[in-house]
Amino acid sequence: MNELPELPFLSRVSLAIGSFFALLGDGRLAARVQALRSGAPLASEVPPPAPAPVQAPSPPAPVPAPAPVRATANVDAALQLLALLQRESRFVDFLQEDIGAYSDADVGGAARLLHGGARKVLQDTFDLVPVRTEAEGSRLTLPAGFDAAAVRVTGNVVGQPPFTGTLQHKGWRATAVRLPALTEGHDTRVIAPAEVEL
């Protein structure tokens, strides 16, 4: 029997929050968690059955591990954003169409439509600010302990900070995200419903 090691408290908090949304969104996962809570052993805890001589070993049952839980929680938001982009700017239609056959003028016309709508979605959904306020092309110095997630250094990366270099891209950071609230049971996988005129 392979007992799993105990998780630290913070990981348990993030798992609990992630699981909350994952369970709301995934009925099958919820059923499995319910079985687990009522004492059913995990596949990894069950001793493997004695191998049958002529049968290939069955694939191991999937384990409800933290990673897929987080992925499930993000899927709704991603689908929601895609649906918004499609509704306001025909984003999916544009990308799914083969533009090779059209002239630049035709593509440009559609791009205008896409730009106007997608921009509205971007502005409605996110508050965006540049990561660095300096003008692109200017020289700047990164002190020791700079936020490596917000600033990416490239090129001659040697020695110890402070680093001095040229700002190539000012970066973007979302300071607020406002996705529409979702109603219970809404199927976000429908990005655009088929339309039938009666």
Partner 1 sequence: MSGAKYAIGIDLGTTHSALSWVDLHSEGAAPEILPVAQQSGPGAVQDYSLLPSFLYVPHDSEFAPGDLALPWNAAPGRITGEWARSHGALTPIRLVSSAKSWLGHAGVDRRSGILPADAPPEVERISPLAASTHYLQHLRDAWNHRHPEAPFEQQSVTVTIPASFDPAARELTAEAAQAAGYHGITLLEEPQAALYSWIAGSAGDWRKQVQVGDVILVVDVGGGTSDFSLIAVTEDAGNLQLNRVAVGEHILLGGDNMDLALAHGVARGLAAEGKQLDPWQMRALTYACRLAKEQLLSDPGLQSVPLVVPSRGSKLIGGSIRTELQRELLSTILLEGFFPAVESSARPVARPRAGLTQIGLPYAQDAAVTRHLAALLGRQVGATAQLPGFAQPEGATFLHPTAVLFNGGVFKSELLTDRVLSTLNAWLAADGAPAARLLHGADMDHAVARGAAYYGQVRQGQGIRIRGGTAQAYYVGIESSMPAVPGLEPPVQALCVAPFGMEEGSEAPLPPQQLGLVVGESVRFRFFGSSVRRDDQPGTLLDFWSPEELQELAQIEATLPAEGRAAGEVVPVQLRARVTDIGTLELLAQASEGAAGGAQWKVEFDVRDA
Among 113, 122, 142, 191, binds partner 1 (CB under 8 A): 113
Q: CB under 8 A: which stretch of 16-24, 97-105, 150-158, 159-167 binds partner 1?
A: 97-105
Size, binding site for partner 1 by CB under 8 A:
32
Which of the ranges 25-33, 89-97, 149-157, 159-167 carries the binding residues for partner 1, by CB under 8 A?
A: 89-97
- Should residue 163 be labelled a site residue for partner 1 when binding is judged by CB under 8 A? no
| Among residues 3, 6, 147, 195, the one that binds partner 1 under rule CB under 8 A | 195
Dist CA 198 CA 179 (whole Å)? 32
DSSP state of 137: T
Closest by Cα among 188, 159, 198 to 77 = 188
Determine the straight-line distance between the first and last CA of the chain, rounded to whole angstroms: 62
DSSP state of 43: G
User: Which of 96, 133, 154, 175 touches partner 1 (CB under 8 A)?
Assistant: 96
Compare residues 33 and 113 and give the one whose CB is closer to partner 1.
113
Q: DSSP for 64-129?
A: --HHHHHHHHHHHHHHHHHHHHHHHH-HHHHHHS-GGGS-HHHHHHHHHHHHHHHHHHHHHHEEEE
Query: Around Cβ 94, how many Cβ atoms within 10 Å?
Result: 18
Q: How far is the CB of 175 from partner 1 (least distance, A)?
A: 17
Q: Closer CB to partner 1, residue 25 or residue 171? A: 25
Which x/- pattern over 20-59 shows residues binding partner 1 (rule: CB under 8 A)? ----------------------------------------
Tell which one of 22, 29, 69, 83 touches partner 1 (CB under 8 A). 83
Of 116, 125, 112, the residue nearest 84 (C-alpha): 125
Compute the least distance from the CB of residue 146 to partner 1, in Å: 36
Residue 124 in contact with residue 87, Cβ under 8 Å? no
Q: Which of 126, 118, 110, 108 is nearest to 179 (CA)?
A: 126
- Asked if 70 interacts with partner 1 (CB under 8 A), we say no
* Contacting residues toward partner 1, per CB under 8 A: 80, 83, 87, 90, 93-94, 96-97, 99, 102, 105-107, 109-110, 112-114, 116, 178, 180-188, 190, 193, 195
